[in-house]
């Protein structure tokens, strides 16, 4: 007798025809059910609850601390440090879909997740303590600039109505107000954290600093953070930043800025990530001017430079640079 061996074609459809996305998420996150509340990340070390689910044709988990977003197979890929196809194989094996010893009946199917709204971020504001204003002043950022930029000192931060974090002298919290659509839009900044320094409920298309821009001008700087925007603003230089340093603005947004400003400079960090990001942008937009702080100063960005060498030195560097590019 001849035995025929057929190789099993493991695909997303093959798996999801037998196991729901909710069940897969619950199994690997070790949670009983998926609800509208927030969860701790299972792919990085963090004691805060910063992850929430949403549905957009598929079920996704978003980490509001770093902006990462993935479906159930993406979660498995992150957990095991493997590629997409290996993740499919792992799920199929764990749920007994490849005739291994595990049985699908041993893992109960989770209830379907009902669509939830965007994460609601609320803050309890407080007056800036003197020590916080002193911290901002090392970057040349005054209370007036903070107010104009709609930056607030947070006493407490709430995510979906639950207390998430409270400010301390060791871990201050600042809120960048980004406007409002169906909910208030915030970027919450934890400057002393080594990871998860931002929590945000804004879209990837949002441009930081846009509200403070003049209608037209000779120069616009595209930088990578709100803090850098405020440093440049303190010297009278209009600047904006994408919502994440790993993203760039859309072609439509860039064309709009080209119509409003004569020259556009991209000023990112001078570290490996910053240079790589600028090179990536330059391939698509070679018409822009690209620059970074010389490494000889020992600072990676304009904020650190101001802190290291002082306002007068930064001013002379900027003035000399502007003379060159605006001629």
Tens digit of each residue's pLDDT (9 = 90 or more) over 166-178: 999 999 999 999 9
pLDDT at residue number 7: 47
Structure confidence by residue, pLDDT tens digits, 229-243: 999 999 999 999 998
Spatial distance between the Cα atoms of 142 and 230, rounded to a whole number of angstroms: 9
- Is the pLDDT reported for residue 102 higher than 70? no
Alpha-carbon Rg for the chain in angstroms: 24
Does one domain contain both 197 and 221? Answer: no
Spatial distance between the Cα atoms of 80 and 200, rounded to a whole number of angstroms: 26
Structure confidence by residue, pLDDT tens digits, 151-161: 999 999 988 77
Does one domain contain both 129 and 88? Answer: no
Query: Could you tell me if residue 100 is inside a domain?
Result: yes
Give the CA count within 13 Å in the CB-facing half-sphere of 21: 20
pTM of the model: 0.67
Spatial distance between the Cα atoms of 208 and 176, rounded to a whole number of angstroms: 9
Query: Could you tell me if residue 114 is inside a domain?
Result: no
Query: Could you tell me if residue 43 is inside a domain?
Result: yes
Mean pLDDT of 76-96: 92
Does one domain contain both 100 and 51? Answer: yes
Q: How far is CA 30 from the centre of its chain?
A: 25
- Is the pLDDT reported for residue 100 higher than 70? no
Does one domain contain both 102 and 146? Answer: no
Lowest mean pLDDT among 46-50, 93-97, 198-202: 46-50
Report yes or no: 212 and 149 within 8 Å, Cβ to Cβ.
yes
Structure confidence by residue, pLDDT tens digits, 14-33: 899 889 999 999 999 999 88
Mean pLDDT of 293-321: 91
Residue 106: pLDDT band with limits 50, 70, 90 = low
Does one domain contain both 217 and 317? Answer: yes
Residue 202: pLDDT band with limits 50, 70, 90 = confident
Does one domain contain both 161 and 177? Answer: yes
pLDDT at residue number 86: 92
Residue 5: pLDDT band with limits 50, 70, 90 = very low
pLDDT at residue number 133: 98
pLDDT at residue number 196: 81
Query: Could you tell me if residue 178 is inside a domain?
Result: yes
55, 80, 106: which is the final residue of a domain? 106
40-45 long-range Cβ contacts below 8 angstroms, 24+ apart: 41/65, 42/75, 42/79, 43/68, 43/75, 43/78, 43/79, 44/195, 44/196, 45/195
Spatial distance between the Cα atoms of 233 and 211, rounded to a whole number of angstroms: 12
Does one domain contain both 162 and 214? Answer: no
Residue 300: pLDDT band with limits 50, 70, 90 = very high
Lowest mean pLDDT among 123-132, 192-201, 256-265, 303-312: 192-201
Instruction: For the chain, give the percent of residues with pLDDT over 70.
Output: 92
Does one domain contain both 152 and 180? Answer: yes
153, 178, 202: which is the final residue of a domain? 202
Query: Could you tell me if residue 112 is inside a domain?
Result: no
Does one domain contain both 69 and 153? Answer: no
pLDDT at residue number 67: 75
Partnered with residue 265 across adjacent β-strands are 221, 289
Query: Could you tell me if residue 222 is inside a domain?
Result: yes
Does one domain contain both 218 and 311? Answer: yes
Specify the number of domains making up the chain: 3
Mean pLDDT of 75-80: 94
Question: For the chain, what is the HEC assignment?
Answer: CCCCCCCCCCCHHHHHCCCCHHHHHHHHHCCCCCCCCCEECCCCCCCCEEEEEEEECEEEEEECCCCCEECHHHHHHHHHCCCHHHHHHHHHHHCCCCCCCCCHHHCCCCCCCCCCCCCCEEEEEECCCHHHHHHHHCCCCCHHHHHHCCEEEEEEEEECCEEEEECCCCCCCEEEEEEECCCEEEEEECCCCCCCCEEECCCCCCEECHHHCCCCEEEEEECCCHHHHHHHHHCCCCEEEECCCCCCCCHHHHHHHHHHEEEEEEECCCCHHHHHHHHHHHHHCCCCEEECCCHHHCCCCHHHHHHHHCHHHHHHHHHHHHHHHHC
In the structure encoding, which two tokens stand for residue 4, read together? 């025929």
Does one domain contain both 39 and 83? Answer: yes
Report yes or no: 113 and 22 within 8 Å, Cβ to Cβ.
yes
85, 106, 127: which is the final residue of a domain? 106
- The CATH number covering residue 98 comes to 3.90.580
Q: Which domain holds residue 151?
A: 119-202
């Amino acid at each position: 007798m001849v035995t025929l061996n057929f190789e099993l074609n493991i695909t997303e459809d093959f798996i999801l025809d037998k196991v729901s996305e909710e069940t897969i998420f619950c199994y690997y996150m070790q949670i009983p059910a998926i609800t509208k509340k927030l969860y701790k990340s299972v792919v990085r070390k963090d004691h805060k609850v910063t992850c929430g689910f949403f549905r957009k044709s598929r079920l996704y988990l978003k980490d509001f601390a770093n902006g990462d977003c993935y479906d159930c197979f993406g979660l498995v890929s992150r957990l095991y440090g493997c590629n997409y196809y290996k993740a499919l194989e792992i799920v199929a094996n764990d749920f007994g879909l490849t005739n291994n010893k595990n049985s699908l009946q041993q893992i109960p199917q989770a209830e379907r997740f009902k669509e939830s709204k965007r994460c609601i971020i609320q803050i309890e504001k407080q007056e800036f303590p003197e020590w916080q204003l002193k911290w901002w002043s090392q970057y040349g950022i005054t209370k007036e600039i903070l107010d104009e930029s709609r930056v607030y000192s947070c006493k407490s931060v709430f995510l979906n109505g639950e207390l998430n974090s409270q400010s301390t002298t060791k871990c201050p919290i600042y809120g960048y107000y980004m406007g409002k659509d169906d909910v208030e839009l915030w970027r919450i900044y934890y400057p002393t954290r080594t990871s998860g320094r931002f929590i945000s409920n804004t879209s990837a298309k949002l441009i930081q600093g846009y509200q403070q821009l003049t209608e037209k001008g000779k120069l616009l700087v595209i930088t990578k953070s709100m803090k850098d925007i405020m440093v440049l603003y303190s010297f009278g230089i209009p600047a904006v930043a994408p919502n994440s340093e790993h993203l760039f603005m859309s072609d439509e947004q860039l064309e709009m800025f080209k119509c409003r400003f004569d020259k556009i400079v991209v000023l990112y960090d001078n570290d490996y990530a910053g240079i790589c990001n600028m090179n990536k942008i330059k391939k698509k937009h070679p018409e822009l001017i690209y620059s970074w702080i010389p490494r000889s100063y020992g600072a990676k960005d304009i904020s650190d430079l101001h802190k290291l060498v002082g306002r007068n030195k930064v001013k002379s560097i900027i003035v000399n640079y502007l003379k060159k590019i605006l001629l």
